[in-house]
Structure 1
Amino acid sequence: MRVLLALVLVAFSVCAMAQSPLPDRVLHGEISGRDNHTYRNVPFDVPAGTTRITVDFQYTGKDQHTTIDLGLLGPDGFRGQDGFRGWSGGSKHIFTVSATDATPSFLPGAIRPGQWTLLLGIPNIRPNAHAQYTARIWFAHDAAGAWGPDALNLPLRSQAGWYRGDLHMHGAHSDGSCTSQSGTQRVPCPLFVTVNQAVARGLDFIALSDHNTISQFNDIRELQPYFDRLLLIPAREITTFQGHANLFGVIQPVDFRVGSASVPDWNTLLRNVAPLHGLISINHPIRADDESCMGCGWASAKPIDMHLVQAIEAVNGLDAMVPALSGVSFWQDQLNKGFHLTAVGGSDNHDAKLVLPTPGGSSLIGTPTTVVHASELSMPAILEGIRAGHVFIDVQGTRDRMLDLAARIDNRSAEMGDTLSAPAGGTVHVTVSVAALAGDHIDMIVDGKPLQTNADFAIHDARQTVSFDWPSDGKRHWIRADVRGAGGELLMVGNPVYING
């Protein structure tokens, strides 16, 4: 049973510090009864090139009701336009600020080099009491520390397992809308409505991918500590006139103007974001590129370097129902060219309050669901699971359908996304495991073509495993599994095991 939220936040902070790199500054001080009802400035220098400041402030004497409130001032103190950066009272002992986002109580803004100040307020300390404080301060200079050593870096669950999520959605920070509280008008849909709906859908994670903007990341700072069972992943849909792609796990601004003098083509953009250590997924690649959906289809003016891409949105919303619109064929073409790209799905939801999908329009949050096998429920682990290809897509976004594939030869084995060496003449033993798909049928696919075998791929039971042997010719191949319903509809999309990758 989960503990109270307050205890969760305390545990988050303690664990965060244990897992964080060593601080760049450590400040110590002492207060006594003479400091009651006073303010104290604790200055520290911020070096040039700093993009984020994160502070962990601890003090003793709480058992004697000593209280220290905490604020932050920039180089101009209270005089400058961006000098005052926030005041949390005693509600937080860890906070972060950057140009793009900040912990609630604090303000995002430029991180100017110079002397900054921790502002301490002492509303209570007994006349004969003494208390010691320690402030540990981190300075981030690049993407590696961009999300800060705080609760947002911590796993919501520390167990390895399959985690279900939605990687594509829009809200008030771009073009997502929903009916207002009274239901009388459509308004930009607040982020908390999206998050609540994701909880109702039973998801473990969502990526908040508004078009080109990063303003939603500040809302994530506020919402994530409360939603301690739903991981909120910072993302954006890089939206250009030559196609769209989601960028996950990066919060820095990115110049998205493909076709401009500064970003002449997609390769330039991809090379620019590569050092930020995010994950790129090409979105809905087979779509119209006209007035009905300007720039939606993948229409790069020149071939792009697929080595700079990690994933393809093979299923967007309900497009698996229309093979001509689905990205599966585009994805499989890349696999046949030798690229190891992970198939993912996303609802592309634009109305979080949607109850039923609209034909040719928005689908429900979590439809489809991308299911990731990860070491824990955290942003780094989910993104690493996607990079590794440990993923299947539940097209209809159920809570319980499962699809797994493993391959083995001798004492070596591989799961979806892995590579298995199989010499010519060797026999690869392939196992497909499914759940909650009784009455449906497994389709095995090798190099984009149906596999011809005598194995029975009909699913008879609530949980079932099907195995067969596949002879290797020593050449490069890929093997994967889909599941189709009785009417031939695509229900599940599996990622491949690569043979002799």
Structure 2
Amino acid sequence: MCDDTHDIGRRALFVTGSAAALTLGSVSFSSAATGPAPGSRESRTVRGTLPTGSPDFVYVPVAVPPGVRELRVAYAYDRPPVPAGTPGNALDIGVFDERGTELGGEGFRGWSGGARTEFFLRADEATPGYVAGPVREGTWHLALGPYTVAPQGLTYEITVTLTYGEPGAAVPPVYPPERAAGRGRAWYRGDCHLHSWYSDGRRTPAEIGALARAAGLDFLNTSEHNTHAGHGAWAEVAGDDLLVLLGEEITTRTGHVLAVGTDPGTFVDWRYRARDNRFGRFARRIRRAGGLVVPAHPHATCIGCGWRFGFGEADAVEVWNGPYTPDDEVALADWDAMLAAGAREGRRDWIPAMGSSDAHRDPDVVGLPQTVVWARDLTREAVQEGIGSGRSYVAESRHVTLAFSATGGRGGHAGIGERLEVDRDAPVTVRLEVTGAPRCTVRLVTDQGVLLTSGPLPGSGEGVVEWRTTPAYAAYVRAEVRHEATAPPLPGALAAFTNPVFLGR
């Protein structure tokens, strides 16, 4: 084993097409002339220290000779004590192959963030989160992501081990079908934000599939952090009763976004910030691959989680993420403010809301919450169409169901996400039917704010609320079902909410 210490003073600063990054001295191994025996191994260990204010990504070049069967990497870093309120050390890791580290390029071979301390890859197999394939000759790059750095700096140690020999036989991936049996035109329940052990989750795809079925879900979307490597692991999870969409959670340093229902094998790069003006390019990448662009938990308080890119590229927005918390309340209010602004300006375009569990491990609940979508069938295309058009509501569990609509004029009728085309002074009746929400309060919200509060519902959880208005008085109406308030005058946590019904021509 050979050791090396990175001299940060000799580092080379370069630009990857977005944020500045560091490239360090290369790690070298035997050349072809030395002829390492099949099955033999070589290791190199490098050490270094990153100061506070380091770039988002630090690349360690690895010169890979020919004849390598497997590349294996292990790493560790120090975690010194820090003052209260000061972030400590957190170092993510991934790898790019000989095709390079260009933003949006073809060199990506895997990312585990901070979820693993080691990984391997070869032609026939790879650590979850990494893409199996041959270890070809050339300069590879380990990608270090100093997520946060303590005031003392971040000292790391990386050991790279190469195993020589003939590559194994590649195993072609098998992807889940784009259609499940379904019930024709119906309401379908889904969870579009989930993590398995293919990123930083602790559950297998099979375990998630079982939990999804137990939660009454009809579809789910895979959303591993910054990797598509798990797309081929879901075929056996899917079935006539469960549609599996493939996607990714792109976790930039200025917000996270879900790619919902992309083509199998689609990778979307995450190495940019809002100030780099690169997000539009990758939003288009998601759409070209047949996916929806959905900013996730836009007001989450974790470092780098809050959404800073604006909503001009969004097809929907994740307003409710996991158990209902104050940042979800802020996201709901922000979304409603966007609806109201659109109504004032007379715009017909709007951004639908959705909710997902973001479940990683026990005790995270798959399907809390779940987006309930009106779709013409249980297919990838139909579900995406329902989400993108806002024909959906969000519920905390399979037990909560809503039926929400507006009627008026000569038999006119509009459901969630639709528009009731009547004159501005025409009388309109709004009707909400609720089941599965005992002792909850119903609120009807318009562009003027909350205009009706009703309840609480009886212990059976069932109830009907009707309200009469006109388009002149309410440009849209949406419904909220809330639990009892624990800190009045603040409202209680959501049990369910709908996308709006729009009123008027």
Q: TM-score range by the shorter chain?
A: 0.5 to 0.7
Query: Do the aligned partners of residues 448 and 170 (structure 1) sit closer, same or farther apart at CA in structure 2, a change above 3 Å counting?
Result: farther
For residues 305 and 229 of structure 2, what CA distance do their matches in structure 1 show?
22
SS at match of 2:272: coil
Report the CA distance shift for 1:250/1:448 in structure 2 as closer, same or farther (over 3 A): farther
Q: Which residue of 2 aligns with 1:208?
A: 222
Within-5 A mapping of 1:291-440: 293-300=302-309, 303-305=310-312, 308-318=313-323, 320-322=324-326, 326-338=330-342, 339-351=349-361, 354=362, 356=363, 363-395=364-396, 397=397, 399-410=398-409, 411-440=411-440
TM-score when normalising by structure 2: 0.59
In the alignment, is the contact (CA less than 8 A) between 1:415 and 1:497 conserved in 2? Answer: yes
Unaligned runs of 5+ in 1: 1-80, 82-98, 111-146, 178-188, 357-362
Report the TM-score when normalising by structure 1: 0.59
Distance 1:209 1:418 in 2: 29
**Secondary structure at the counterpart of residue 274 of structure 1:** helix
Aligned to 1:459: 457
**Counterparts of 1:324 and 1:381, CA distance in 2:** 27
Q: Partners of 2:242 and 2:290 in 1: how far apart?
A: 23
Q: Secondary structure at the match of 1:445?
A: strand
User: Aligned partners of 1:500 and 1:309: how far apart in 2?
Assistant: 25
The answer (yes or no) to whether the contact 2:440–2:461 under 8 Å persists in 1 is: no
Contact 1:346 1:366 in 2 (8 A): yes
Classify 1:216/1:267 alpha carbon distance in 2 versus 1 (closer, same or farther; 3 Å): same
Partners of 1:109 and 1:499 lie apart in 2 by 55
**Alpha carbons of structure 1 residues 247 and 323: separation in structure 2 relative to 1, 3 Å:** closer
TM-align CA RMSD: 3.2
1:404–1:494 CA contact under 8 A, matched in 2: no
The secondary structure found in structure 2 opposite 1:152 is coil
Aligned to 2:477: 479
- In structure 2, the gaps of 5 or more residues are 1-68, 70-107, 110-123, 125-130, 135-172, 343-348, 486-491
For 1:229, the equivalent position in structure 2 comes to 241
The sequence identity of aligned pairs, in percent, is 28
2:496 aligned partner: 492
Matched residue type, 1:241 = R
| Contact 2:405–2:415 (Cα < 8 Å) also in 1 | yes
Residue 269 of structure 1: aligned partner? 282
Cα pair 2:439 2:455 within 8 Å, conserved:
no
Measure, in 2, the Cα distance between the counterparts of 1:369 and 1:167. 8
Give CA-to-partner distance per residue, 1:376-414, whole Å, 9 cap, x none. Answer: 22222221111121211113x2x2211121012212211
CA distance in 2, matches of 1:408, 1:152: 38
2:104 maps to none
For residues 234 and 497 of structure 1, the distance between their equivalents in structure 2, rounded to whole angstroms, comes to 30
1:268 shift after superposition:
2.9
**2: CA distance between counterparts of 1:484 and 1:402?**
13
Higher fraction of helix: 1
Whether the 8 Å CA contact 1:342–1:388 is kept in 2: the answer is: yes
Which residue in 2 is equivalent to 1:442? 442
Q: Quote the Cα distance in structure 1 between the aligned partners of 2:318 and 2:237.
A: 27
**Would the aligned equivalents of 1:286 and 1:325 in 2 still touch at CA under 8 Å?**
no
* CA apart distance, 1:297: 0.6
Query: Aligned partners of 2:282 and 2:433: how far apart in 1?
Result: 39
Deviation of 1:236 after TM superposition, in Å, equals 0.8
Q: What is the deviation of 1:163?
A: 1.8
Shift of the alpha carbon at 1:441?
Answer: 1.8
Q: Distance in 1 between matches of 2:183 and 2:382?
A: 10
Aligned pairs, number: 326
SS at match of 1:371: strand
> SS at the partner of 2:194?
coil
Q: Helix, strand or coil for the counterpart of 1:168?
A: strand
Q: Secondary structure at the match of 1:349?
A: coil
